[in-house]
Amino acid sequence: MGSDNSGPSGLTRRQFTQAMALTAAAGAIGVPSIARADTTVNFLGWQGYDDPVAFDDFLKSKGISLNTTYIGNNDEIVAKLRGGGIGTIDVVTPYMGYIPLLVKLDLIQEIDVSRVPNLEKVMPIFRNDPNIVVDGKLYGVPFTWGGGPMVYDPAVIATPPTSWKDLLKPEYTGKVGMMDDPLGNMMIGALVATGTDTPTKINAEQLEKTIDFLIEVKKQSRVVAASWGDLSDAIARGDVALTFNGWETMVKFCGDKGKLVKYTYPVERTNAWLDNYCIAKDAPNLDAAYELCNRVISVEGQKRLAEVAIQAIVNSDAVAALPADIRALYPYDDIANYGKKAGFFGFPPVEPEGDLTTFSDWLKAYERFKAA
Amino acid sequence: MENRLTAYWLAAPSALIFVVLFIAPMAFFVVLSFWQVDYFVLTPAATLANYRDVFVNYWHVMAFTVALATATAVVTTLAGFVFSFLARFRAGKWAQALLFIVLITLFGGYLMKIYAWKTILGNEGVLNTALIAMGFISTPITTLLYSPQAVVITLVHFSLPFAVLPIYASMRGVTDIEVEAARDLGAGRWATLATVIVPRCQAGIVAGFSFVFLITAGDYVTPLLVGGKQTMIGNLIAPQFGAQFNWPLGAAMSLVMLLVAVAVIFVFRTLVAWWSRP
């Protein structure tokens, strides 16, 4: 869930699905709970991401108890694993863009597909995402996803724009709402402004163009919202009529406020994210960790995620079992073509790599957009 | 001599708190502002690059912040003065009740007030709906919300108690005798206000202005939620200590802003003193 407000994190998006992701870390890692007969799995991930495995008595029936530590951003996964977490942490839930880095740093282990039978039910677009397969080996169990479409109010915008560039047309002045989501905005901006297919791999000049484009969109906008809830609020209250960057789930947020909104994927495409259960290197409770990985993509676990947290899911059987209204929130029916609408782009380089701009270059450049 | 020593000992705890909580962090930030960050690692240095960055890239945001904070502080101080004046000289036995109401609003919660104003000022908000219903306008006034005005309105509402309390406190020191003496000597209402009451409330007025200016200049939540795309300097400082991980730049921005704030307050104080000159 990298395309969120707080840099590589996803805090803002989660403020809805899992309330505030308080990083109640407090050194809980590495301190096993009081000894008991159960296997205690140490889980490090987003608040709410433990719910699909923990909501019923599945864990109890397997003799597993969960010791959860919640994160506030994806960086914490890297930091905690490097800072002594190896050997004590079992399961982590990174955004797919972080998986190549975690593999490179030797912090997570290959998934033994034979031990996660439910993977067969995971739709190929997620199961085969190139970010989670490194050197032909699978390193994550993808379980939830989402993208950044253009959300619009059909009462005001009868025919939605087909290109992100259309937002610059005079007829939309003052009607656009943006989201303060650095990574997501810059990836969409790069797709539009530079025409690249890989918006995470751009040079300094392309980054410049990207920010210039974002500033143009900002001039057209009424608001750069602090969270998905605020952006939904702005469109639900009629303060804006269409958005730059978005989230499919906004349909639900606005629906709850009594406003019908729709979304569309402009021709330049948009960014998408995919979150995973990964098993840490030297996980002390490997068997139990696999039970969790299999459970989170089971029909029960996935239905729970879709119906309670309103997240998009990956198991095709679970999708088929969803109530129609929940199912309609995401483009499940044409999922094979989702790649034509959105890309799971991952992450810009963290360290210098040729003439490519790094993640810190991006954050620095984004300041110009903020200050404009 | 012994007395003096005792005095030092007695002052030691507060001095310690002052040094540890105010001087030391500030000194740390001064030092930090000359450092740099290399790939997410703080590195000691003696560079002016951060300050250069502030003046080249962020001066316009700083200027906007100062303008907005000054506007808010002036409006709030005026409103606070009027409110205090009514409470002190006109409300009679209701004065305590009025002050109690001011205090009560402090318990209202900061975010609560911001969201309340969103509900009032939006396109389909209370104000626009009412104006349309009464036939004054036919389409909503879109500049009410997501604009600098919205930020000022919200901050004035939030910070009013911080202006009322010090101004009222100093106004309580103005006795009826002083006011009556002025009137007996032939001063009209306005002359009494301008030459007796305002000068006697100098300290309260400056304190109220300062509180409001500082609260506003450092705020970054209000512009985020009701300002639309308005960026104040706080919105750029906060991420330096978070996602951006550029503490040195954040420190430089903070220190420059602090100096500017001190300058603004000094100018205001000088103006009030000039007005109140004998």
Q: What is the DSSP letter of B136?
A: S
Structure-block tokens of residue B30:
């001064």
What integer pLDDT is reported at residue B19 of this predicted model? 94
> Per DSSP, which regions of chain B are E strands?
36-38, 41-43
A196 with A116, same domain: the answer is: no
Q: State the Cα angle at A131 between A101 and A16, rounded to 5°.
A: 90
What integer pLDDT is reported at residue A28 of this predicted model? 37
How many Å lie between the alpha carbon of B166 and the closest alpha carbon of chain A?
Answer: 34
Instruction: Find residue A243's DSSP bridge partners.
Output: A177
Nearest to B53 by CA among B67, B71, B34: B34
What integer pLDDT is reported at residue B2 of this predicted model? 66
Pairing mode, strands A150-152 and A262-264: antiparallel
* A2 in any annotated domain: no
Nearest to B213 by CA among B168, B169, B255, B155: B155
- CA–CA dist A327, B48 (Å, integer): 56
In the predicted model, residues of chain A with pLDDT beneath 50 are: 1-36
* A99 in any annotated domain: yes
Domain boundary assignment for chain B: 53-275
ipTM, 2 dp: 0.81
* A124 in any annotated domain: yes
What integer pLDDT is reported at residue B104 of this predicted model? 87
How many Å lie between the alpha carbon of A179 and the closest alpha carbon of chain B?
Answer: 10
Q: Considering only CB atoms, which chain A residues are within 8 Å of B36? A: none
Q: How many CB atoms lie within 10 A of CB B139?
A: 8
What integer pLDDT is reported at residue A3 of this predicted model? 40
A366 with A234, same domain: the answer is: yes
Q: How many CB atoms lie within 10 A of CB A100?
A: 18
Q: How many CB atoms lie within 10 A of CB B187?
A: 16
Binary contact (A237, B244; C-beta < 8 A): no
Domain that holds residue A152: 147-271+348-371
- CA–CA dist A246, A150 (Å, integer): 6
What integer pLDDT is reported at residue B35 of this predicted model? 94
- A-chain residue closest to B126, CA distance: A237
A138 with A40, same domain: the answer is: yes
How many Å lie between the alpha carbon of A247 and the closest alpha carbon of chain B?
Answer: 19
Q: Where are the alpha helices (DSSP H) in B33-136?
A: 49-57, 59-85, 95-106, 110-121, 126-133
Q: Considering only CB atoms, which chain B residues are within 8 Å of A180? A: 224
A207 with A104, same domain: the answer is: no
Nearest to A179 by CA among A213, A222, A209: A222
Q: Considering only CB atoms, which chain B residues are within 8 Å of A182? A: 243
A86 with A155, same domain: the answer is: no
Residue A150 backbone dihedrals phi, psi, to 5 degrees: -85, 120
Nearest to A314 by CA among A147, A119, A140: A119
Binary contact (A233, B118; C-beta < 8 A): yes
Mutation site, B36, B139, B146, interface A, largest A CB count within 10 A: B146
* A27 in any annotated domain: yes
Q: Considering only CB atoms, which chain A residues are within 8 Å of B246? A: 364
* A341 in any annotated domain: no
The structural domain count of chain A equals: 2
Nearest to A167 by CA among A175, A158, A159: A175
What is each CA distance from A336 to A123, A342, B218, B264, in whole angstroms? 8, 11, 49, 60
Binary contact (B123, A233; C-beta < 8 A): no
A261: domain CATH number is 3.40.190.10
Binary contact (A367, B57; C-beta < 8 A): yes
What integer pLDDT is reported at residue A8 of this predicted model? 34
* A284 in any annotated domain: yes
A205 with A301, same domain: the answer is: no
A371: Cα within 13 Å, side-chain hemisphere: 21
A279 with A326, same domain: the answer is: yes
Please tell me which of the candidates B124, B231, B246 has its beta carbon nearest to residue A237. Answer: B124
A221 with A292, same domain: the answer is: no
- CA–CA dist A350, B38 (Å, integer): 12
Q: Dihedral of the CA atoms A239, B150, A233, A188 (nearest 10)?
A: 80
What integer pLDDT is reported at residue A59 of this predicted model? 93
Assign domain B53-275 to its CATH superfamily: MetI-like (1.10.3720.10)
A219 with A122, same domain: the answer is: no
A286 with A160, same domain: the answer is: no
Q: Where are the alpha helices (DSSP H) in chain A?
A: 11-17, 51-54, 58-61, 75-80, 99-104, 124-127, 182-194, 204-220, 228-236, 250-256, 286-296, 299-308, 316-320, 324-327, 338-341, 359-371
What integer pLDDT is reported at residue B244 of this predicted model? 75
Q: State the Cα angle at A212 between A208 and A215, rounded to 5°.
A: 140
What integer pLDDT is reported at residue B37 of this predicted model? 84
- Check: CB of residue A41 under 8 Å from CB of residue A93: no
In the predicted model, residues of chain B with pLDDT beneath 70 are: 1-2, 39-40
Please tell me which of the candidates B124, B229, B243 has its beta carbon nearest to residue A7. Answer: B243
Q: What is the DSSP string of A71-99?
A: -SSTHHHHHHIIIIITTT--EE--BGGGH
| Chain B interface, Cβ < 8 Å to A | 39-40, 57-58, 60-61, 118, 122-125, 140, 142, 145-146, 224-225, 228-229, 231, 235-236, 242-246
Q: Considering only CB atoms, which chain A residues are within 8 Å of B123? A: 237-239
Q: Considering only CB atoms, which chain A residues are within 8 Å of B243? A: 6-7, 9, 73, 182, 363
Please tell me which of the candidates A73, A182, A224 has its beta carbon nearest to residue B229. Answer: A224
A175 with A294, same domain: the answer is: no
What integer pLDDT is reported at residue B152 of this predicted model? 96
pTM: 0.82
Q: What is the DSSP string of A209-271?
A: HHHHHHHHHHHHEEEEESSHHHHHHHHHTTS-SEEES--TTHHHHHHHTT---EEE--TT-EE
Nearest to A233 by CA among A207, A208, A258: A258
A45 with A132, same domain: the answer is: yes
- CA–CA dist B150, A16 (Å, integer): 26
Q: Considering only CB atoms, which chain B residues are within 8 Å of A223? A: 146, 228-229
* A1 in any annotated domain: no
- CA–CA dist A339, A334 (Å, integer): 10
Q: Which residues contact B83 (CB under 8 A, 6 or more apart)?
A: B98, B102, B160, B164, B168
